[in-house]
Amino acid sequence: MISIHILIAMLLILGAVLVPLVYFKKTKHISLLVFLLGGVGFYLSSQVLENILHRIVLQPQADGTIALRTENPWLYVLYGIAAAAIFEETARWVIFYWLQKKRPLTFRDGIAYGLGHGGIEALFVGIVSLLNFWVIAQVVTQGNAQTLAQIPQAVIDNVRSMSAGSIYLLAFERILAILIQILLTYWVWKAIKEKAPVYFLAALGLHALIDLAPALAQVGVLPPLAVEALLLVEVVALVFLTKKILKVYLKERFNHGDQSNA
């Protein structure tokens, strides 16, 4: 039964990416190239460059244990939120800076890049993780002793303890993350558009703050439900702040055509 919930959660995450992509492509004519650039930006910054730094600094063991996490959890949290913010926001800055050299940035570029960045993150962090859980759940259900022996016991115990609620909570977090990535994108977008580095610095701080709750959960300070509640509050606050800094663009560019990116 848990396998069905995992599959439904995967479809929910996939829908949270594809439905807005199709909608904004048809109604606002967002650029698929910028969408792909968003995906590339996330992949190179987070899955390649940041991972290289993690291997150097954290030196994770084969079983997934990290000495810094157990010996100095607060330093581990600070390192984690700083690294994620710096790598991902710098990727946005570099891509928007390059794009601005080619043509003026449009409001639609923020949606397209944010969807690409958040969509690929949802794939790697959400769908791939759920797919792994699904495969292990199948192995556990079948009870193949030879195959089970090749999987760490901690992973098996984790899958066995999973509930439908925890699975949908993970999907909810990934869907929230997509919205967060779109909102954060506009802070860097505005920094490049208006040549105002203060918005890039704000994006770094906001990104680190949003990552704080999940990082605290990794070291056992916060329970999962508290993390989701905090993320929801942060998303509401981020929507308010982002609308405030984009007030002029929301009125003059997005709502009145902005055909330059069609």
Residues 45-99: tens digit of each pLDDT? 999 999 999 999 988 876 668 888 888 999 999 999 999 999 999 999 999 999 9
- Residue 146 CB burial class (10 angstroms; 0-12, 13-18, ≥19): exposed
Give the C-alpha separation, 53 to 61, whole Å.
15
SS3 assignment, position 173? helix
pLDDT recorded at residue 144: 67
Q: Can you give the pTM of this predicted structure?
A: 0.89
Give the C-alpha separation, 224 to 231, whole Å.
11
pLDDT recorded at residue 209: 96
pLDDT recorded at residue 11: 96
Distances (CA, A) of 251 to 107, 115, 235, 243: 11, 21, 22, 10
Residue range of the domain that includes 186: 2-256
- For residue 193, being part of any structural domain is answered with yes
Q: Read off the tokens for 166.
A: 């925890």
Which regions of the chain are under pLDDT 70?
A: 1, 62-64, 143-150, 152, 154, 252-262
- For residue 261, being part of any structural domain is answered with no
38: Cβ contacts below 8 Å, ≥ 6 apart: 95, 112, 113, 114, 115, 116, 117, 118, 119, 120, 185
pLDDT recorded at residue 21: 96
| Structural domain total, the chain | 1
- For residue 37, being part of any structural domain is answered with yes
Q: Do residues 182 and 118 touch, judged by C-beta distance below 8 A?
A: yes
- For residue 25, being part of any structural domain is answered with yes
Which residue, among 164, 172, 163, has the nearest Cα to 229 in the 3D structure?
Answer: 172
pLDDT recorded at residue 61: 78
- For residue 242, being part of any structural domain is answered with yes
- For residue 262, being part of any structural domain is answered with no
pLDDT recorded at residue 63: 64
